[in-house]
Structure 1
Amino acid sequence: IWAGSDDGLIHVTRDAGTTWQNVTPKGMPADALVNSIEVDPHRDGGLYVAATRYKSGDYAPYLYHTDDYGATWRTLTKGIDRGHFTRVIRADHNTPGLLYAGTEFGLYVSTDDGANWRSFQLNLPEVPITDLALKDNDLIVATQGRSFWLLDDLDVLWQGLEDFDAARPHLFQPHPTVGYGGGNGSESVTAGTNHPAGVRVNYHVPEGVEDATLTFRDSRGAEIRSYDGSDLDITAGLNHFDWDMRYEKADDFDGLLMWWGTLNGPVAPPGNYTVELALDRDTLVSSFEVLMDPRAECTREDRISQFEFLKSIRDKVDETHDAIRHMRSVKSQSSALLGRLDEDDYPAIFEEARALDSLMTAVEEVLYQTKLKSNQDMLNFPIKLNNKLAHVGSLASMGVYAPTEQMVGVRDEVTALIDAELAKWHTLRDERLPAFNALIRDSAIDLIGVPEE
């Protein structure tokens, strides 16, 4: 047990307080105030000390370290401005020799166990740092008069100290990420800014590189999402990308309107994943883990069951919307063809085109409420199968739990009805449409013609 006092003394006991030994550094002024002590997390008998004498008009920094229970001490102030008196020192829990110091005029960092210091302000205001704390991979900074600040993702610092070459691309391993929580990262003038939800991927791009691609894969290597171009907005130096952990969303189509139905892909469940950074001739790969939210009352299996359920809904809604889009494309092409022809010259083509149009329209009207023109129209015209299924997905994604028996029942019932309509479309697509195209070819219709005067 260590104790530092306001009158410049440091004591240690190694027998649970039965006896104490005065181990005050010989070079520390007698009237210094021991402002903070930090047990060295990497060495037995190690302690870091921050002391001040600003109340006596001395604004010099006083930092010390021992690794032998106070028998000997080192002074650790090289690089800190002589007028920046030191209030606190903390040792990184992950990387030996990585230290943080809070002074009257800002933050300092040392990567060589205090032998040298340099400013670590980044976007911090120039303000007294009264305390520092480390939690997981975050550095928490308490200031005097300017609130609390957090430096996220110390992983970049940890990994950068191990193996980093600024002339080459580098993909930092993402920190294990809880599957829910966080915010959208937006800034506010009246409230703090939460870390964006999801997995943050930090990567370094050297000069001259303009294009890159980030690809996320599951534990089997299957691609989940891929991002490039404007999604990344890369610049030379350190970049980061926040993946929301969502799978690809279901497709939509022009004019789609839905009531309380989601197209969002499901959020990746707990498990192991990889991210790939591809640029120029290099492809870098790193693994990461998505963790269960410790606040969740469900099990890991429940969360995976929810994911599989939502993915099945996403897949079926996607298939439904693709079918609607394809049917509309066929009808549009058919209408354009008929607009070029005289019905008296091609009565069979007009008859078959109208029959196909009628059959496709009947299928679409079961799958989607075609009368919707605004969001208020749902009050007058009932939603159809695509919206009913998407609504179940919305309800099932509102919490963190396995789908209920009723949700599964509704999904299965609506899916069966959708499949019946899709089967009709597939028959039209695979049988009637090829026959219609054959009829068009047999009719020897010119593709290009000169308008009659």
Structure 2
Amino acid sequence: TLCAPFPRSAGRGAAGLPFKEDPLRRGLLFAGTERGAFVSFDDGDHWQPLQRNLPVTSVRDFVVYGNDLIVATHGRGFWVMDDISALRQLTGEVLQADAWLSRPADFINVTPGDDDGTPLQRDEPQTQNPPDGACIDYYLKTAAAGMTLEILDASGRVLRRWPAEPGSDTGRRGGRSTNGLPRVSPLWQPVPEAFSTTAGMHRVVWRPVAPPEPNAPGAAGAAGGGGGPRRGGGARLTGTFTARLTVNGRAYTQTFEVRADPRSEGR
């Protein structure tokens, strides 16, 4: 029985629906009500909404699969929160800190197909696929100016930096590529993720792919064109990497692993 009071947004009968404890962090509870999903970080003593973009609907069950939280609703399908690693690490001490960098979950660098085909335009009714990369979560107590987030390899070389350096934009554009084939329309490309410096919890996704060599065969075509954009562009990276968040001159670091696709041998 859930004895702690729910927020008013939970509605009547809040404690009558199922709840589940995270299998990896004791005291991290998820509860469903007739109006949505709720989370407790202290074994049910306090609750808060876990709504995000989940519609106001009856939540009937939870499944924790690996690092993902799967929510079963009544009449609104399944809702998945990808990678709850940050929720598992969140504590009262974290929320009192000026900034915090979550340890990213280890990522399996799945080998993509040779061609994704023609992508759907953004106005086509569809749901998002899971992030194709390592999820980097960070928290800011207040807005921070001049902060950076970097990904370093084992040798200390910076592979990716947010915000991006001027002139390093790798986004696809319309027009024609250097091989004469038309590039894919920008309207068919996903909106570039924003790097937020406002107060609160934020996430960026890093795709562990090496940039292609400028003169390598097919480098121009990898930028887009033909039947559809290729998700590649370089070798899929594996190994140990470091995320480094720098806020007001103080650096926070976390290491994580990127493993090879176990199905990739012999392909």
| TM-score, normalised via structure 1 length | 0.44
Q: Which amino acid aligns with 1:154?
A: I
Alignment partner, residue 100 of structure 2: 170
Alignment partner, residue 354 of structure 1: none
Q: 1:297 to 1:233 in 2, by over 3 A?
A: closer
Alignment partner, residue 189 of structure 2: none
Q: 1:246 to 1:287 in 2, by over 3 A?
A: same
Mapped to 2, the partners of 1:188 and 1:261 lie a distance apart of 26
Alignment partner, residue 149 of structure 1: 79
Alignment partner, residue 11 of structure 1: none
Aligned-pair CA distance for 1:278: 1.9
Aligned-pair CA distance for 1:82: 3.7
The secondary structure found in structure 2 opposite 1:164 is helix
Aligned-pair CA distance for 1:171: 1.0
Identify which range, 93-102 or 115-124, moves more after superposition: 115-124
The secondary structure found in structure 2 opposite 1:140 is strand
- Whether the aligned pair in 1 keeps the contact of 2:142 and 2:200 (CA below 8 Å) is yes
Residue 228 of structure 2 is aligned to residue 266 of structure 1: no
- Whether the aligned pair in 2 keeps the contact of 1:212 and 1:229 (CA below 8 Å) is no
Q: Which amino acid aligns with 2:256?
A: F
Residue 43 of structure 2 is aligned to residue 113 of structure 1: yes
CA-to-aligned-CA distance 1:7-32 (integer Å, 9 cap, x gap): xxxxxxxxxxxxxxxxxxxxxxxxxx
2:5 to 74, 78, 83: 78
Q: How does 1:205-216 map to 2 (within 5 A)?
A: 205-216=140-151
1:277 to 222, 233, 245: 245
Q: 1:287 to 1:146 in 2, by over 3 A?
A: same
- Whether the aligned pair in 1 keeps the contact of 2:212 and 2:219 (CA below 8 Å) is no
Aligned-pair CA distance for 1:286: 0.6
Mapped to 1, the partners of 2:219 and 2:44 lie a distance apart of 61
Mapped to 2, the partners of 1:141 and 1:108 lie a distance apart of 11
CA-to-aligned-CA distance 1:367-416 (integer Å, 9 cap, x gap): xxxxxxxxxxxxxxxxxxxxxxxxxxxxxxxxx74xxxxxxxxxxxxxxx
Structure with more helix by fraction: 1
Q: Which amino acid aligns with 1:248?
A: P
Alignment partner, residue 130 of structure 2: 195
Mapped to 1, the partners of 2:195 and 2:129 lie a distance apart of 21
Q: 1:86 to 1:77 in 2, by over 3 A?
A: farther
Q: Which amino acid aligns with 1:268?
A: L
Q: 1:77 to 1:165 in 2, by over 3 A?
A: closer
Q: How many pairs does the alignment contain? A: 220
Q: Which amino acid aligns with 1:119?
A: P
1:234 to 173, 182, 197: 197
Q: How does 1:28-427 map to 2 (within 5 A)?
A: 63=1, 76-79=3-6, 81-84=11-14, 86-161=16-91, 163-180=93-110, 190-229=125-164, 232-251=195-214, 261-262=221-222, 264-269=233-238, 271-294=239-262, 296-298=263-265, 401=267
Q: Which amino acid aligns with 1:111?
A: F
Overall identity of the aligned pairs, in %: 29
Q: 1:265 to 1:109 in 2, by over 3 A?
A: same
The secondary structure found in structure 1 opposite 2:155 is coil
Mapped to 2, the partners of 1:229 and 1:261 lie a distance apart of 23
The secondary structure found in structure 1 opposite 2:90 is helix
Structure with more strand by fraction: 2
- Whether the aligned pair in 1 keeps the contact of 2:19 and 2:62 (CA below 8 Å) is yes
Any gaps of 5 or more consecutive residues in structure 1? Answer: 1-62, 64-74, 299-399, 402-453
Q: 1:181 to 1:111 in 2, by over 3 A?
A: farther
Mapped to 2, the partners of 1:137 and 1:169 lie a distance apart of 23
- Structure with more relative contact order (C-alpha pairs < 8 Å, separation 6 or more): 2
Aligned-pair CA distance for 1:261: 4.7
Alignment partner, residue 19 of structure 1: none
| TM-score, normalised via structure 2 length | 0.71
Q: Which amino acid aligns with 2:156?
A: G
Mapped to 1, the partners of 2:122 and 2:131 lie a distance apart of 11
Any gaps of 5 or more consecutive residues in structure 2? Answer: 166-193, 224-232
Alignment partner, residue 50 of structure 1: none
Mapped to 2, the partners of 1:77 and 1:187 lie a distance apart of 42
Mapped to 2, the partners of 1:181 and 1:100 lie a distance apart of 33
